[in-house]
Amino acid sequence: MTDSDDQPERKRGTGSRLVYDTLREEILSLVLQPGEPIDEIGLADRLSMSRTPIREALVRLAADGLVTLLPNRSTVVSQIDFPNLHRFFDAMTLMYRVTTRLAAEFHDAEDLVEIRARQDAFARVVVAGDTAGMIQLNRDFHVAVAEAGRNPYYLQLFSRLLDEGRRILRLYYYPTFEPRLPHPYIQEHEAMIAAIAERDVDTCDRLAKDHADKIVQQIQQMMARDLRQDIKL
Amino acid sequence: MTDSDDQPERKRGTGSRLVYDTLREEILSLVLQPGEPIDEIGLADRLSMSRTPIREALVRLAADGLVTLLPNRSTVVSQIDFPNLHRFFDAMTLMYRVTTRLAAEFHDAEDLVEIRARQDAFARVVVAGDTAGMIQLNRDFHVAVAEAGRNPYYLQLFSRLLDEGRRILRLYYYPTFEPRLPHPYIQEHEAMIAAIAERDVDTCDRLAKDHADKIVQQIQQMMARDLRQDIKL
DNA sequence: TGCATTTTATTTGTCGACAAGATTCTCTAG
DNA sequence: CTAGAGAATCTTGTCGACAAATAAAATGCA
């Protein structure tokens, strides 16, 4: 058996989506590292399809900013844009605030159920000490809040920022994580849910800002520590 | 002469870009109306290339939200999302404010030259009574301001919103436009430039908000008028 | 041995073709 | 004359192949 995958009879039209989802997950989880080239032919071979749907997926990933298409040269996983990191934090903070505010204004009962479910899932992985899951489910929680806010434009930008944040957090947060309960983020999420349910826009804004500031501060501390270590060596 | 275009020896790799730019312009200027299907074969014939680069361009346009890919069915120009229009206005107003604020903070001398150039171009088409050009160059002005603000995340969202705005303005603004000088928008742009140059963040914020509110209000008035006419008939 | 240049090999962008799925047309039964 | 099943047509998604462009290797020269 030279071929590990036998063809599972994919349906017509699902090829590009499969490649897109696979690559996206591998990029965001740093299985594919920034700068790493992506081999079209290898992928075609691995997923047993032609290059056409793969190139289509790469074009979509490029639109998301996850890969960079170098003309007539290889496609590479996009670098994390460190010189622009403070701009990233700025946009992230604004989106935290805006989406949480809008959630307080426009949510309905079903939204609260969904948000609550995400928060419970988040709490579970925190208890389990599953850091990768924590990053993922924190993202899901805030996406659920943003969806309750009903603004697709903010949702799109916020999703993109949260994805980019997944890569950054993986780099700086994961190696230094030590589980402790009750985790402050869980409590902050709980406070947000309460404020959203009470439709208290101002409190939502304040909580979101504090939450964002804390995350940014934490990442910056870790980055600084990281840099010092580099100098020490 | 059955064929209007002779092939101008395109360079390798420019095919998709040509299609993308062409379609994008035709969509935003409403030459291609919302809901209109896009014929891949026809385009391939017209631009004398194969369907592959055309499909690639369509995928990119779909990522921008300008077209909708219906699986196994035709690709159509995206509808203008009227039920979400107030969310569009909300996001637009926020981006006006944020980008103008950041321009005041982070611009340099070259940015001011560029912004001034766009404003002059804008003023020229206003004088000429060229409404289509007005819409286009108003967009260019604000993109220049956003570029001076140096935040690529805001710039991307703002560009998308301004593009979508081009379609909406074409629908509601164009038919009712009557030129008058000095146009208030020119004066408001001038005030913005002055506040940016003085790095007066608060004034920028106020001016941007007022500018956005005025535009939104004007569009809403025209839409209301339009609706009344529909009822009358 | 080191550097410049030609040759080879790999990879990308584009093409024409074909099959699955959807749409339209046609023919027949009621 | 209408409605529905089936056939024919058209469009899309995918494929394998080929040529342009780049990268790598090999060769020649100082």
If you write DSSP's letter for every residue of B104-137 in order, what string do you get?
HHH--HHHHHHHHHHHHHHHHHHHHT-HHHHHHH
Distance measured from the CA of protein residue A66 to the C1' of nucleotide D26, in angstroms: 38
Do residues B184 and B61 lie in contact, with contact meaning Cβ atoms separated by under 8 Å?
no
Query: Which CATH number describes the domain made up of B82-232?
Result: 1.20.120.530
- Which nucleotides on strand D sit less than 7 A from a protein beta carbon? 11-17, 20-23
Specify the pLDDT at position B121. 95
Q: What's residue B230's pLDDT? A: 61
* CB within 8 Å of chain B, chain A residues 174-213: none
pLDDT at A211: 94
> CB distance B71–A160 less than 8 Å?
no
Residues of chain A in contact with residue B52, where contact means CB-CB under 8 angstroms, are: 52
The partner residue sitting opposite B13, judged by closest CB among A72, A81, A160, is A72
The answer to whether residue A83 neighbours chain B at the CB level (below 8 Å) is no
So where are chain A's domains?
A: 15-77, 82-232
Q: How far is the CA of A58 from the C1' of C1 (A)?
A: 44
Q: Do B90 and A151 touch (CB under 8 A)?
A: yes
Rg (CA), chain A: 20
**What's the CA gap between B227 and B203, in Å, rounded?**
36
Residues 54..73 of A with a Cβ closer than 8 Å to B: which? 55-56, 59-60, 63-64, 71-72
Q: Shortest CA distance to B204 belongs to which of B132, B114, B102, B128?
A: B102
Please, what are the averages of pLDDT over each run of 10 residues along chain A (233 residues)?
Answer: 50 88 94 94 93 96 95 94 93 98 97 97 86 87 98 97 90 61 83 97 97 89 71 53
A161 touches chain B (CB under 8 A): yes
What is the pLDDT at residue A231?
A: 58
Q: Indicate yes or no: CB of A90 within 8 angstroms of CB of B151.
A: yes
Nucleotide C8 C1' to residue A57 CA (A): 31
CATH fold group of domain A15-77: Arc Repressor Mutant, subunit A (1.10.10)
Nearest to B55 by CA among A42, A24, A58: A58
Q: Which residues of chain B have pLDDT under 50?
A: 1-6
- Closest-CA distance of chain A to residue B87, Å: 6
Mean residue pLDDT across chain B: 88
Q: In this structure, are residues B106 and B148 in contact, taking their beta carbons and an 8 Å threshold?
A: yes
CA B92 – CA A205 distance, rounded (Å):
19
